[in-house]
Amino acid sequence: MTRFVVRRFISMVLVLFAISVMTFLIFQVIPNGDPAQRMAGRLSTPETVAAIRRTWGFDDPIWQQYLTTMKKIFTGEVISYTQQVNVLDQIWQDLPATLSLAIGAGIIWLALGVLFGVLSALHAGHFTDRALTVAALVGVSTPVFLLGAVALYFLAFKVQLFPNGGYVPLTQDPLDWLYHMILPWLVLSVLFIGIYSRVLRSNMLDTMNEDYVRTARAKGISERRVLLRHVLRNSLIPIVSLWALDFAAVIGGGAILTESVFNLQGVGQYAAESIRQLDVPPVMVVVMLGAFFVVILSAVTDVIFALLDPRIRLAG
């Protein structure tokens, strides 16, 4: 087990390093034009550009530029020149909204995805299954920002069942927080519910043909117990590992579209606003930290799974 953890840790560190290099290349090296000019934004004075070139060391050799960039990101020195704010401070301030969105939505999409997947598998080929399949296809084909806009128009503007976007901190008013979060949670969940229910459906249908399921049936165990104890349990493993990755990706910036439609003022919306102004520094920091978060959480998930299931340890 220790060997597995050490090996997983080393590979994680390597991937983190590679991600930092790739982020650096994407933002500072690959595009045409002057990196200092890009950092400064569209409306910038020649003095700002010159100052940026000096502090970011864009005249240095390339490996030195990489070190300077990383040092700036990790010591929290990156400043948005367009918006005149410290990027890391802003991310820190926006984190609660992003976490609220991700955690609530994560619980909803796992629960409903499993529920609909089981229903679909149980009634495979019948009306419930077909209806759920159609719903899942529509859900997967609708961009989340469009769904959010439609939901806001009908449920917040026309009927006024929900507030018209915005975020209320949990510590300030828990009930109002919940009231503001329900619609974003549901909208963000739709796509994942569609994917998870279909993956679970096919996993369950595959598992039903396994020998041990036939054995369980042959022993005379009730059909309900066979499905829940033997089929569902084994079909859930890939779903849960999928969930861990998606959950990490949502926190790491994947909810950027939902956040900006519902004006949740989270990290994703901060990134979205920065993109709109083509303000490079915040986008760079959000992208890199987001990818870091996904990689770290996926390593943690792997270790947890190895603890639960020895077969993974041997295979990995």
Within 172-191, which residues bind another protein (CB under 8 A)? Answer: 191
236-275 mask for another protein (x: CB under 8 A)?
--x---x---x--xx-xxx-xx--xx---------xx-xx
**Tokens standing for residue 52:** 């940026």
Binding footprint of another protein, residue count (CB under 8 A):
71
Per CB under 8 A, the segment of 103-111, 137-145, 179-187, 302-310 that binds another protein is 137-145
Which of 9, 71, 111, 157 is the binder for another protein (CB under 8 A)?
Answer: 157
Min dist. Cβ of residue 40 to another protein (A) = 11
Answer left, alpha or beta for residue 43, where phi above 0 means left and psi between -120 and 50 means alpha. Answer: beta
Q: How many CB atoms lie within 10 A of CB 222?
A: 11
144 neighbors 188 (Cβ within 8 angstroms)? yes
Q: Which is nearer to another protein, 177 or 186 (CB)?
A: 186
Q: Could you give phi then psi for residue 79, rounded to 5 degrees?
A: -120, 140
Show the DSSP H helices in 123-143 as ranges.
127-141
Which of 132, 183, 216, 287 is the binder for another protein (CB under 8 A)?
Answer: 287
Q: Which is nearer to another protein, 6 or 29 (CB)?
A: 29
Q: Which is nearer to another protein, 91 or 177 (CB)?
A: 91
Using the rule CB under 8 A, is 224 a contact of another protein? Answer: no
Q: Which is nearer to another protein, 177 or 230 (CB)?
A: 230
**Tokens standing for residue 225:** 């117990």
Which of 201, 216, 230, 306 is the binder for another protein (CB under 8 A)?
Answer: 201
Min dist. Cβ of residue 215 to another protein (A) = 16
Min dist. Cβ of residue 271 to another protein (A) = 7
Q: Which of residues 51-90 bind another protein (CB under 8 A)?
A: none
Q: What are the C-alpha distances in Å from 158 to residues 148, 154, 161, 259, 262?
A: 14, 5, 8, 21, 16
- Residue 43, burial from CB neighbour count under 10 angstroms (0-12, 13-18, 19+): exposed
Min dist. Cβ of residue 255 to another protein (A) = 8
Residue 125 three-state SS = coil
Using the rule CB under 8 A, is 295 a contact of another protein? Answer: yes
Report the half-sphere exposure of 282 (CA within 13 A, side-chain side). Answer: 28
- Per the listing, tokens 């890199």 go with 288
Using the rule CB under 8 A, is 278 a contact of another protein? Answer: yes
Q: Which is nearer to another protein, 32 or 171 (CB)?
A: 32
**Tokens standing for residue 152:** 């806001």
Report the half-sphere exposure of 255 (CA within 13 A, side-chain side). Answer: 34
Q: Which is nearer to another protein, 129 or 176 (CB)?
A: 129
Which of 10, 150, 161, 307 is the binder for another protein (CB under 8 A)?
Answer: 150
Q: Which is nearer to another protein, 199 or 221 (CB)?
A: 199
Give 282-309 as a DSSP string.
HHHHHHHHHHHHHHHHHHHHHHHHHHH-
Per CB under 8 A, the segment of 1-9, 48-56, 78-86, 129-137 that binds another protein is 129-137
Q: Which of residues 7-36 bind another protein (CB under 8 A)?
A: 15, 18-19, 22-23, 26-27, 30-34
From 52, 14, 69, 99, select the one nearest 285 (Cα to Cα): 69
